Chains A and B, each alone.
Chain A
């Protein structure tokens, strides 16, 4: 931090991104047009599981304007598969989880067998997209249909194997244990056993994916523009596949139209387009259309839980046994990371002495499953928070009361959970007041007692109102690292580049705020460069609610290196002692002596290499520093949610009257941006809870392959939402930041399910799967009516 007080962190500075985006002057991958550019159309499987006998490309090759048509066989010995382990795990995590992980590598274009509807098997490159698609339609395939492995449960005992080397279709198993779950269950006065299902839906950014690549034969280098959240991962995989030095591969994510995790790993197309550009010596562009996106961009969620909870007559939970299956589809681009999150987050804000978890990541003939906003947390929050409501029902206690009785108290902080996190460090919740968050959430919907009275009165009038609660904690700001380079050149501007890759989070603004405070300069004197591998040697990217913490840490550490030089040089020029110097308003000066100072611009000039420098002995030329921030472990954001719903008994429609989330992500950089992140996440969660569904039939065909069937929430679907931000600083970094990109999306599905069950309590209804469909509600109402007759 600068010697001056922070002046930008904590302020809702207007975003510097807005101007260009409002004018339609941003540059998304789809907007790029390079001289001589060719266009790719990809031919995708219409079968869930099939052996490829032959692919006939002749007709496509004969079309005027077609430069190239290829099938998997043509690439088999040319391009290696993408590693199944795009995310690695430290040994300490492995020791704690006892995993068996055999995530299959993903062949870019299979030549032998197809494993999901939407998987690429051929491609055409042509002078324009219309021609490419015409030619693609002429490609004939001879396939032998194989029995599909339709879902995770069926996969366990299926004869068919998605990958021949994975018996039982198991790609990974994980185990975790705290205390002695077996004994605790045997001795528990009461037990609750349930099956919960969290359905499949997806990130669904408004901009589909897209890639443009251009090869430069003079330098034997390639530039790839990809709509991605992880430019450095794409660079690694492209360099590996094309056998080029990473230095000769530049990957840029220009303006990206939303990501939410769906663009958070390397896809085959990232590599294919780069390969085609190099092979053809011309720029190549591929844009995904929405149908392709629904079929082929990663799906998420789709977990089946078998839960057993032990508790006493007061509702105090002593043990949870969490057995679950992840339907990972045909591949699992980030390995067992989602399952790892699910295991680690199950107990949420509750103090539970015994826990046992066992998970299988299953391969099925569905689209690959990868993290989407929440990444394993909405699923377990659903199972845990539904269980609490069911315990409350059994004991005739209020669900709020059962939560309060089980919550970790503020004086227990920091709280050791007794399980390892994905970064290999034993989990310790760092700070916060969980019961206070729930109290505030209840106040936010008008108070518990007041609501119960209203509910009773409404019921007497034949109206069904319900209160739904949902609490969670979220590990944020995960490593392994983020990189940043900070420079001050002769212009005196502070230039910051990091590996963060924004997709709408306002990083250009937020990191300018952070850097301006670190340097005590005007925010307009900070230049921020993001999502470009040519500016930062090593970077990680924007996934997993991590950038506020990790990129800020890297900006700080690299700034510290540069500051050492700035002070040494200024001390030399000003003939003062370094310890008497401070940063103030873009200058370095002697404390208490306003006239003794020099601007950063002057320091930068004094730092130049050459004959006229003014550096003291031993100080290297140039004001430039790079650092790789490796966070000690994650920071723990948390939230409590409360919502009131009313059921329309005629239509089964759930009307959310009011939704409140009390969210704590530590110190906020830009409260307005933070608020937008949480609210955007909440609306995605509401979409997932009520409308959005990637559903498959028994043949493995996706039934929701367009926006006519995959229903996103619209402006008129959104209820009044109130987000109350608490700011308990994290002790794990000097800013007090925690991450907040994902949080909003975690709770709504279970909050809605709990609220609906609360409203329909007179019917004894249980909704233990998502989404909560109108027809499910009508069924409950009909069953109730039938029973009453």
Chain B
């Protein structure tokens, strides 16, 4: 087996270093080496979105990246959202709109939603549904998630999200 390399990444603004073999998944590196277990894995084949994080400003599936690919990257994970006891606005909206039950999908949902909302200033309801389809939730049936993300988009962009199509 190829020898481990030392990998350095910035996680939520803090530079962390750990060893990873070339084949180690980024998700495993975050969770097992750096102890950032807030990022979850639900499939390890790129479908469920539970492992979604933000790498250099873009949402990425940490189960589809190797740790070595993240060398020097600027990574945001769920652990970086709240400011101490003060929840991030999207986290508050998730609780308010009952967007979580078991909470297993939640970190991936939050990171997916942040990327979706912050990189699109004119989202429609349909865009939100399609965008959030990048992550699976087995508990909630999505209604609360869509409501929370819609409310967040309205907060961030200061205008109502347009209803689109007949059943919006």
Contacts and interface: CB of A to CB of B under 8 A. Distances in A.
Interface of A: 14-15, 17-28, 30-31, 33, 130, 134, 204-208, 255-258, 260, 289-290, 503-506, 657-658, 672-673, 675-676, 679-684, 706-708, 712, 714-721
B145 A208 contact: no
Nearest to A24: B38
Contacts of B128: 715
Contacts of A679: 140-141, 143
B103 A22 contact: yes
A289 B41 CA distance: 9
B141 A721 contact: yes
B79 A24 contact: yes
A306 to B, nearest CB: 33
Interface string B38-78: 11111111011010000000000000000000000000011
B140 A206 contact: no
Interface range, B side: 35 or more
Contacts of B35: 33
Interface of B: 1, 21, 23-24, 31-32, 35-45, 47-48, 50, 77-79, 81-82, 87, 91, 94-96, 98, 100-107, 110, 126, 128-130, 132-133, 136-146, 167
Contacts of B48: 206, 290, 707
Contacts of A255: 102-104
Nearest to A712: B136
Given A24-B78, A255-B103, A708-B47, A658 B143 contact: no
Contact of A505 (B36, B101, B138): B101
A679 B146 CA distance: 14
Query: Which 6 pairs show the lowest CB-CB distances between chains A and B?
Result: A24-B38, A21-B103, A257-B104, A504-B102, A683-B141, A504-B101
B77 to A, nearest CB: 7
Contact of B45 (A17, A290, A506): A290
Contacts of B82: 22-23
Q: Which of A204, A206, A505, A720 has the largest count of B CB atoms less than 10 A from its CB?
A: A206
A444 to B, nearest CB: 15
Nearest to B100: A21
A683 B142 contact: yes
A267 B48 CA distance: 24
Q: Which label, helix, strand, loop or mixed, suits the secondary structure of the B interface?
A: loop
Contacts of B167: 657-658, 719-720
A30 B103 contact: no
A707 B96 CA distance: 30
A33 B32 contact: yes
A204 B48 CA distance: 12
B112 to A, nearest CB: 10
B101 A506 contact: yes
A682 B153 CA distance: 27
B91 A676 contact: no
A250 to B, nearest CB: 22
A715 B129 contact: yes
A720 to B, nearest CB: 5
A718 B143 contact: yes
Contacts of A719: 167
Contacts of A680: 101, 138-141
Q: Which of B37, B101, B106, B137 has the largest count of A CB atoms less than 10 A from its CB?
A: B101
Contacts of A675: 98
Nearest to B77: A24
A206 B101 CA distance: 11
Contacts of A130: 21, 23-24
A504 B44 contact: no
Contacts of B23: 130
Contacts of A716: 126, 129-130, 132-133
A708 to B, nearest CB: 7
A718 B168 CA distance: 11
Contact of A23 (B40, B91, B137, B142): B91
Q: Which of A17, A27, A657 has the largest count of B CB atoms less than 10 A from its CB?
A: A17
Contacts of A207: 40, 42, 102, 104
B51 to A, nearest CB: 11
Contacts of A707: 43, 45, 47-48, 136
A671 to B, nearest CB: 10
Nearest to A294: B43
B99 to A, nearest CB: 9
A19 B42 CA distance: 21
Contact of B142 (A17, A28, A31, A718): A718
B38 A715 contact: no
Contacts of B47: 706-708
A206 B77 CA distance: 19
A28 B104 contact: yes
A503 B105 CA distance: 13
22 contacts: A14-B95, A18-B100, A22-B78, A23-B38, A23-B87, A206-B104, A289-B44, A290-B42, A504-B104, A506-B101, A657-B167, A679-B140, A679-B141, A683-B141, A683-B142, A706-B47, A707-B43, A714-B142, A715-B129, A715-B133, A715-B146, A720-B167
Contacts of A21: 100, 102-103, 106
Given A31-B31, A130-B21, A676 B103 contact: no
